[in-house]
Amino acid sequence: MKKKSVDTLVVGGGLAGSILAWKLMQQGVRTHIVFDPKIPSASYVAAGLMNPVTGQRLVLQEHAKTLLETSKSFYQSLEEHFQTSFYFEKPMLRYLRNQKEELAWKKRQSNVDYDDYLEATNQPKCILQHHTAYLDTQGLLRCLHEAFECRGMLSHATMDYDEIDSQSSSIRWQHISAQGIIFCEGWRGQFNPWFQYLPFQPSKGEILDLKTSSKVPEHIINSGRWLLPMHDGRLRFGASYDCHPPMNESITSHGKETLLADLKQMPVVLEDVDVMRQQAGVRPNTLDKQAFLGVHPKHSNIAILNGFGSKGSMLIPYYADVLMEHIQQQKALPKNVDIRRYSCA
Ligand SMILES: Cc1cc2nc3c(=O)[nH]c(=O)nc-3n(C[C@H](O)[C@H](O)[C@H](O)COP(=O)(O)OP(=O)(O)OC[C@H]3O[C@@H](n4cnc5c(N)ncnc54)[C@H](O)[C@@H]3O)c2cc1C
């Protein structure tokens, strides 16, 4: 194969790798992206929900406004570029399930930071959440990958770490030489020899696509599990959460039964429910629930963008910029996501 020289080699074709490669390319950085489509990607399974207030304690994501603005403008710029829709704003009805959640809501009502995000409804145990949206992750990735392929900057291959030569000033892998390499392998980053010291804590999730004869709700419904009525008529329900190893992307009958039992507890009655599709994926969660960004402490041309857990759609556009500014302009990384919070033996 003809030799190719680039500035940056990106490993991983999920949201992290694809968004990073696109942003680099837009800046004029010569980029090549490699991923193995046979290695499952959480991004293809994800519902793409963007929800800045989460958990039983109704916690507002730090820097929510910046994260939401950055992701919205990024996804909308891609919609314009590809002349198709990926980003859908949709308010969420959040049903409070227990005293803990009711107490949290009571507290939040007197906190002005939440005014923009949470609103009372005429039902006592139901809140209306604003600034929620979802991303059509599959549609987006399809467009990005086609664009990379058209530009000859995509290889479909398994990255065998032994094939990477990082001894000289540039990185060499197969026919490609690069100034630097950025790993975005999702939960499989825990097997990467340069970054396996980082405490990944992956979690498996299963998700159902449903069909029903009932009228589907207008809002996203959240009551522990969420129900997402999509623009194309699909109704998605999920997702389960299992952090017991070993991890894999196989669907299970237990996962399906649990989700269908939970569907019956949702505050929306759906008649004649058929399961059209069941999928499973593994989220790249981390021990301290913060992302992993940075350059390897001993190898200045090896970097990582990973650890986005259940929030990749909202976090990745912003943190891809943060990592690029760190690498290109030596801007300090926010401490909470900097991989230097863990020591590498
Ligand atoms: C059921 C479920 C529901 C979810 N719902 C949401 C949601 O509603 N909202 C949200 O924001 N997030 C959600 N998530 C989480 C979301 O999927 C992740 O935050 C995000 O997709 C992570 O993207 P990533 O690119 O880091 O990883 P991935 O999407 O897993 O991508 C990893 C990439 O690396 C490649 N790869 C790995 N190892 C190698 C190798 N050795 N060689 C070559 N290629 C390799 C893979 O092929 C893949 O392309 C959900 C996840 C699951 C499983």
Q: What is the CATH number of the domain that holds 320?
A: 3.50.50.60
Give the chain's count of helices (H) and strands (E): 7, 21
For residue 244, the domain's CATH number is 3.30.9.10
Residues 219, 292: one domain?
A: no
Q: Which two tokens stand for residue 210?
A: 């449903």
Using alpha carbons, select from 237, 318, 245, 241 the residue that is nearest to residue 68: 318
Within 8 A by CB and 6+ apart from 284, the residues are 42, 186, 187, 189, 200, 202, 306, 307, 308, 309, 312
Question: What pLDDT, on the 0 to 100 scale, is given for residue 202?
Answer: 98
Residues of the chain with pLDDT under 50: none
65 and 125 inside one domain? yes
Query: Which residue's CA is the nearest one to ligand 1's atom 41?
Result: 159
User: Are 296 and 195 in the same domain?
Assistant: yes
Which ligand 1 atom is nearest residue 13's CA?
Answer: 49
Q: Do residue 174 and residue 118 come from a single domain? A: no
Same domain, 37 and 161: yes
CA pair distance 206, 251, nearest whole angstrom: 7
Q: Which of 117, 135, 153 is at the close of a domain?
A: 135
Q: How is 139-179 classified by DSSP, letter by letter?
A: HHHHHHHHHHHHTT-EEE----GGGEE-SSSSEEETTEEEE
Domain boundary among 87, 113, 135: 135
Mutate to test the pocket of ligand 1, among 32, 188, 194, 242 (most ligand atoms within 8 A of CB): 188
Instruction: Supply the pLDDT for residue 284.
Output: 98
Residues facing 126 on adjacent strands: 95
Q: Are residues 278 and 233 in the same domain?
A: yes
- pLDDT value at position 97? 94
Q: Is 186 helix (H, G, I), strand (E, B) or coil?
A: helix
Q: What is the dihedral of CA 33, 39, 40, 44, to 10 degrees?
A: 30
Q: Are 324 and 302 in contact (CB under 8 A)?
A: no
Q: How far is the CA of 204 from the centre of ligand 1 (A)?
A: 11
Q: What's the CA gap between 283 and 289, in Å, rounded?
A: 11
Q: Are residues 164 and 96 in the same domain?
A: no
CA 176 vs CA 1, 73, 139, 172, 173: distances in Å: 10, 33, 29, 6, 5
SS3 content of the chain, % helix, strand, coil (to 5): 30, 30, 40
Cis-peptide into 246, omega within 30 deg: yes
The helix or strand, by DSSP H or E, that contains position 34, with its residue range, turns out to be: strand 31-35
Query: Are residues 90 and 130 both part of a single domain?
Result: yes
Q: In the chain, how many domains are there?
A: 3
Which of 15, 154, 164, 183 has most ligand 1 atoms within 8 Å of CB, for mutation?
15
- One domain for residues 274 and 210: yes
Give the other-Cβ count within 10 Å of 84's Cβ.
13
Cβ neighbours of residue 198 under 8 Å, at least 6 residues apart?
189, 190, 286, 292, 304, 307, 339, 342
Tell me which residue of 284, 281, 339, 336 sits closest to 309, measured CA to CA: 284
* DSSP string across 47-114: --EE-SEETTTTEEPTTHHHHHHHHHHHHHHHHHHHTS--EEE--EEEE--SHHHHHHHHHHHT-GGG
- My answer on whether 166 and 97 are in the same domain is no
d(Cα 16, Cα 73) in Å, to the nearest integer?
A: 17
| Cβ pair 339, 292 in contact under 8 A | yes
Residues 39 and 88 in one domain: no
Can you tell me which atom of ligand 1 is nearest the CA of 35? 44
Write out pLDDT tens, residues 135-181.
999 999 999 999 999 999 999 999 999 999 987 789 999 999 999 99
According to the model, what pLDDT value does residue 169 have?
Answer: 84
Protein residues whose CB sits closer than 6 Å to any atom of ligand 1 = 12-17, 35-36, 39, 41-43, 45-49, 158-159, 184-186, 188, 205, 207, 238-239, 281-284, 306, 308-314
**Candidate from 41, 44, 67, 293 with most ligand 1 atoms within 8 A of CB, to mutate:** 41
Q: Which of 135, 160, 185 is the last residue of a domain?
A: 135
Q: What's the 309 CA to ligand 1 centre distance in angstroms?
A: 9
Domain range spanning residue 174? 4-45+137-199+288-341
173 with 319, same domain? yes
- CA 88 to centroid of ligand 1, rounded, Å: 20
**How many angstroms does the Cα of residue 320 sit away from the middle of ligand 1?**
15
Q: Which pLDDT does position 228 carry in this prediction?
A: 98
**Residue 178 pairs with which residues in a beta bridge?**
6, 171
pTM here is 0.97
| Residue 139 · residue 84 · CB < 8 Å | yes
